[in-house]
Amino acid sequence: MSLRGKVAVVTGSTSGIGLGIARALAREGADIVLNGFGAPDAIDDLQRSLSKSCDIRVAYSDADMSKPPAISQMIDRATHELGAVDILVNNAGIQFTAPVRDFPPEKWEAILAINLSAAFYATKAVLPSMLTSDWGRIINIASTHGLVASAEKAAYVAAKHGVIGFTKVVALETAKSGVTCNAICPGWVLTPLVEKQIADRAKGEKISTEDAKVELLAEKQPSQEFATPEQLGALAVFLCSDAAAQMRGAALPVDGGWLAQ
């Protein structure tokens, strides 16, 4: 398929899953708006290399996904620089772990703002133009934790369950249009966010990083392998295709068998 002429905004896309998805969409010809934090020189290099290798336009927004006005400004800027947004991937996310009794309220608020509310504000901003053109793809990066829970992840689990519920509502509200909304639910993916959990486990249990990786996978993921950003990018591309036009409100696991247990 070709996404040439389409404009895609991918939040949290300067590394990890978001970057894998942005690269996959770029390879199909979509112009890309990157978003996230990082060293300015590294982001400039990423923009140039992606633009040159895929022959596309690449813009960048440093919008803070916890701030609704910044999200609106990001979509306005994308529209001004590249054209109306055709594809929105709500990927930005943060994590913090602690028992509920010890969970800092400020961490709860931050996780819900970035992992859940940001998807609402970005979707609200792009929907009018998508409905006007009668074509659009909204892809929410949820998690297996949007379908099942783990201890000490109250805010993350609550937010990701919310993302899946939100996905279904948007899918129903756009069901008679050419706009679709679906969620991807990764299991363990070796991203900076997960690498921090591995490092914390290794430090807490006084084991090697490799042993901590093995333990992490053994607990949840029967395949004993991490999913990759490239695999998630390929699924995002499929969701943008005509073959996925009647996939609406789906929550698609990429979890090495986690949810099959």
Of residues 194 and 43, more confidently modeled: 43
Query: Looking at the chain, how many residues does it have?
Result: 261
Residue 145 scores a pLDDT above 90: yes
Whether pLDDT at 180 is above 80: yes
Q: How confident is the model at residue 222 (pLDDT cuts 50, 70, 90)?
A: very high
How high does pLDDT run on average in the chain? Answer: 97
pLDDT for residue 192: 81
CATH 3.40.50.720 placement within the chain: 7-187+228-254
Q: What is the pLDDT of residues 88-109, one digit of tens each?
A: 999 999 999 999 999 999 999 9
**What pLDDT sits at residue 67?**
98
Annotated catalytic residue within 156, 166, 188, 258? 156
- Residue 253: pLDDT above 90? yes
Q: 7-187+228-254 belongs to which CATH class?
A: alpha beta
In 3D space, the residue among 88, 27, 22 whose CA is nearest the CA of residue 55 turns out to be: 27
Q: What is the pLDDT of residue 120?
A: 99
pLDDT recorded at residue 191: 86
pLDDT for position 196: 87
Q: Output the pTM of the full model.
A: 0.95
Backbone angles phi, psi at 4, to 5 degrees: -55, 130
Residue type, 214: V
Confidence of residue 193 (pLDDT cuts 50, 70, 90): confident
Q: Work out the end-to-end distance of the chain between its first and last CA atoms, rounded to an integer number of angstroms.
A: 35
* Residues 123 and 170: beta-carbon distance below 8 Å: yes
Query: 182 - beta bridge partners?
Result: 139
Do residues 10 and 18 touch, judged by C-beta distance below 8 A? yes
Residue 76 has pLDDT above 90, yes or no: yes
Which pLDDT belongs to residue 236?
A: 98
**Residues facing 132 on adjacent strands:** none
Give the burial class of 79: count Cβ atoms within 10 A of its Cβ; 0-12 exposed, 13-18 middle, 19 or more buried. Answer: middle
Residue 218, pLDDT above cutoff 90: yes
Task: Verify whether residue 121 is a known catalytic residue.
Answer: no
Residue 157 pLDDT grade (very low, low, confident, very high; cuts 50, 70, 90): very high
Cα(225)–Cα(85) distance, rounded to whole angstroms? 35
Flag whether pLDDT at 197 surpasses 90. Answer: no
CA–CA separation, 141 and 161 (whole Å): 11
Q: Nearest to residue 82, comparing CAs of 3, 24, 5, 178?
A: 5
pLDDT (mean) for 171-186: 98
> How many angstroms separate the CA atoms of 86 and 127, rounded?
9
Residue 142's φ and ψ, nearest 5 degrees, are -90, -125
| Residue 243: per-residue pLDDT | 97
1 pLDDT more than 80: no
Tens digits of residue pLDDT in 6-51: 999 999 999 999 999 999 999 999 999 999 999 999 999 999 999 9
Is pLDDT of 135 > 80? yes
CB of 185 closer than 8 Å to CB of 144: yes
